[in-house]
Structure 1
Amino acid sequence: MENVTTLRETRNSGIHINWHRLLPWVIPVVLIILWQVAVTAGWLDSQLIPSPLSVLEDGVTLWQTGELEKNVSISLFRATVGFAIGGSLGFVLGLMNGLSKVARGLTDTTIQMFRNIPHLSLIPLVIILLGIGESAKISLVCVGVLFPIYINTYSGIRGIDPELMEMGRAYGLNRRQLFSKIVFPGALPTILVGVRYALGVMWTTLIVAETISSNSGIGYMASNAQEFMDMDTVLLCIVIYALLGKLSDIIAKTLESLCLEWQEKGGANQ
C-alpha cells in the first residue's frame, strides 16, 4: 500500500514539474492560436498579416535554401560575442568600482556620463569609424550590455550589509575570504538581474544594428523583405527575435536557479 502511495506521489510531482516548465509557453501559444483564428476568420487581412502557418511555411522554405540558418547563426554569433565582451567589461568595472574607493572616484562618474548617452545614437559614428562589418555590430552590442551589468554589479557590491563585513572580520576572514564568502554571494542576485536585463538590451541593439547597417543577419532579412513587401519573412524575423528573447530569458532564469540554490534552501530551512 505504501509503495502505491509513493508511486502516485511520484507521478503527481512529475506532472507538476512538467506543467511548471510549460507555463512560460502558455501565453505565446495562445497568442499564436488567436492570430491564426483571426486570419482564418478574415478579421485580419492575410496580405498584410499572414497567418502563422504561412509564416512557418516561409521559414521552412528559407531553411531548406540555407538562408535562414546562415542568418540566424550570424546573429547568434554577434549577440554572443558582444555579450561576452561587454558583459565581462561591465562586470570587471563594477567589481573594481564597488571594491575600491580610488577606482570609484576616478571612473564612476565618467562611466555614468557615457551611460546617459543612448547607445543606439552611436550607430552613425560607428558606421563611419568601423563600417558595416562584424566589428560595428559587436561593438554596439558590447556598449548596450556593458552598462546594465556594470550598474547591477556595482550596486550589488555596494549594497552589502556592513555588519556582515564586520562579522566576517571578527571571525578572522582575510580580504579574499570576505569577497568569496560574503561580498560576491551577497551581490550575486543583483548581478544576475543585470544579466537578465542585459540579455534583452542585447537583442534590441542587434535588431536595430542589423536593420540599419548590415548585409547579413536576421535584421537584414527583415529589412530586405520589407523592400519587397514580403510580409511572411518580415513576420518570421520578428517571431525568431521573440523566440530568441524568450529563450534568453529562460536561460537567465535557469542560471539564477542554479547560482542561487543556496538562497532558496536557506529560505526553506527558515
Structure 2
Amino acid sequence: MDRRQAVTTAEIVASTTARPVPDLIEVVAEHRARRGLWTRTPRAVRRMVGPVVILAAWAVGSATEWLDPDLFPPPSQVATTAWRLLGNGELATHVAASATRVLTGTVLGILIGVALAVVAGLTRTGEDLLDWTMQIFKAVPNFALTPLLIIWMGIGEGPKIVLITTGVAIAIYINTYAGIRGVDRQLVEMAQTLKARRSTLITQVILPGAMPNFLVGLRLGLSSAWLSLIFAEMINTTKGIGYLMSRAQTNLQFDISLLVIVIYAIAGLLSYALVRILERLLLSWRNGFDGVA
C-alpha cells in the first residue's frame, strides 16, 4: 500500500513539473492586452470625464436653444465675462478676498476642532464637558447664527470669519473625535505596558490612528468653509465672490452668476485635490483598498 502511494505521488509530481510554467512576462502582457481602453487611460484624464460631459451638455443645450440664452448664458459668454473681469482686475480682487477669508477661517477651525477633539477624546471629563455641546452646534445651521453674529460683532470681518471657523471646527471635531475613540485599544495598552510617556502615546499612537478620520473631517470642513462663505459675504461686504453673486442676482447678470458657480466648483475641486495629496503623504503607511480597475 505504501509502495502504491509512493508511485502515485511520484507520478503527480512528475506530471506537475512536466507542465510548462508560463513566463511571468507573458502573463503580464496577456493581462494588459485584455485591458480595455478605459482602464489604459490615465486616471487624471478619466476624472475629467464628468466635468467635461457637464460642460458639453451645457454648450449643446445653449447651441440648440434648449436652454434660454437670456436666463442661462452659453459657456462662451461666461468665458468672455470672466476674461473681461480678469482684465479690469475685479475678479482677482473678489477671489483674493474670499480666499483670504476661507484660509483664515479654515486654519482657525482646524486648530480649534483638533484641540477640542483631543481633549474630549482622551479624557472622559473632556467628553462630558464638550461632546454634547459640539453635537448641539452640529445640529444648528451656520446661517441661523448670522443675525446674532451681526448683533454681537457688528458688520465687519468678525462675523464672516466666525461663520467659516465654526463650520470647519465642527466637521474637524466630529470626525477627529470619532477617530481617537476608534483607535485600537490593544495598541494603547501595549504602549502603556512599554511605559511610554503620555505625550508619546498621543503623538505616536493615538493621533496617527485618528489621522484618516481627521482627513475626512478636513474634506468636509473645506466644503463647509465654501458654503459658509456664501452666507458670510452677504453681511455688508463689498468684496468677495459671494458679494459678486449677490450683486449679479440683483442686476439680473446671469453670466456673472454662472461664473461664480464655476468658481465655487473649481475651488471645491482644488480643495478636494489638496486633501487627496495630504492623504498620500500622511497615510502612506496604510495599506487600504483602492478599488478595482
Q: CA deviation at 1:225?
A: 1.0
Q: Distance in 2 between matches of 1:24 and 1:126?
A: 40
Matched-pair contact (CA < 8 Å) for 2:234–2:246: yes
Contact 2:72 2:254 in 1 (8 A): yes
**Partner in structure 1 of residue 5 of structure 2:** none
Shift of 1:119: 1.8
Partners of 1:174 and 1:208 lie apart in 2 by 45
Alignment partners' CA distance in 1, 2:244 and 2:288: 46
1:197 maps to: 220
Report if the CA contact (8 A) 1:211-1:219 is conserved.
yes
Q: Which residue in 1 is equivalent to 2:21? A: none
Aligned partner of 1:175 among 190, 198, 203: 198
Instruction: Please report how far the alpha carbon of residue 18 of structure 1 lies from its aligned counterpart in structure 2 after TM superposition.
Output: 8.0
TM-score by length of 2: 0.81
Match of 2:115 in 1: 92
In angstroms, what is the RMSD of aligned CA positions? Answer: 2.5
CA distance in 1, matches of 2:56, 2:181: 47
- Alpha-carbon distance between aligned partners in 2 of 1:24 and 1:61, rounded to the nearest angstrom: 30
Which secondary structure state, in structure 2, belongs to the residue aligned with residue 216 of structure 1?
A: coil
Q: Which residue of 2 aligns with 1:80?
A: 103
Contact 1:211 1:222 in 2 (8 A): no
Q: Distance in 2 between matches of 1:163 and 1:60?
A: 58
SS of equivalent to 2:285: helix
Larger relative helix fraction: 1
Match of 1:245 in 2: 268
How big is each residue's C-alpha offset from its partner over 1:90-125, in whole Å with a ceiling of 9 and x where there is no partner?
A: 110001111122222223222323332222100111
TM-superposed CA distance for 1:266, in Å, is: 11
* Partner SS for 1:261: coil
Q: Does 1:59 align with 2:82?
A: yes
Does the aligned pair in 1 maintain the 2:233–2:243 contact within 8 Å?
A: yes
Distance 2:69 2:251 in 1: 16
Q: Which structure 2 residue ranges, 5 or more long, are not aligned?
A: 1-24, 26-31, 33-38
Whether 2:234 is the aligned partner of 1:211: answer yes
Alignment of structure 1 residues 92-171 onto 2, 5 Å: 92-171=115-194
Q: Which residue of 2 is the match for residue 6 of structure 1?
A: none
1:39 counterpart residue number: 62
Q: How far apart, CA to CA, are the structure 1 residues paired with 2:121 and 2:41?
A: 41
Equivalent in the alignment of 1:226: 249
Alignment match, 1:258: 281
In the TM superposition, what whole-angstrom CA distance separates every residue of 1:158-205 from its partner, at most 9, and x where no partner exists?
111111211222334222222222211111101110000111111011
Aligned partners of 1:127 and 1:213 also within 8 Å: no
Deviates more, 1:89-98 or 1:173-182: 173-182
Distance 1:145 1:238 in 2: 21
Query: Of the two, which has the highest radius of gyration?
Result: 2
Indicate the SS of the match to 1:264: coil
Report if aligned partners of 2:160, 2:235 keep a CA contact under 8 Å in 1.
Answer: no
2 CA distance for matches of 1:185 and 1:215? 42
SS at match of 1:215: coil
Q: What is the percent sequence identity of the aligned residues?
A: 39
TM-score (norm 1): 0.88
CA distance in 2, matches of 1:254, 1:172: 35
**1:132 Cα deviation from its structure 2 partner:** 2.8
Matched, 1:186 2:202: no
C-alpha displacement at 1:87, in angstroms? 1.6
Secondary structure of 1:211's partner?
coil
The total of aligned residue pairs comes to: 258
2:73–2:255 Cα contact (<8 Å) kept: yes
Q: Which region of structure 1 is more displaced relative to structure 2, 250-259 or 65-74?
A: 250-259
1:68 aligns with 2:91: yes
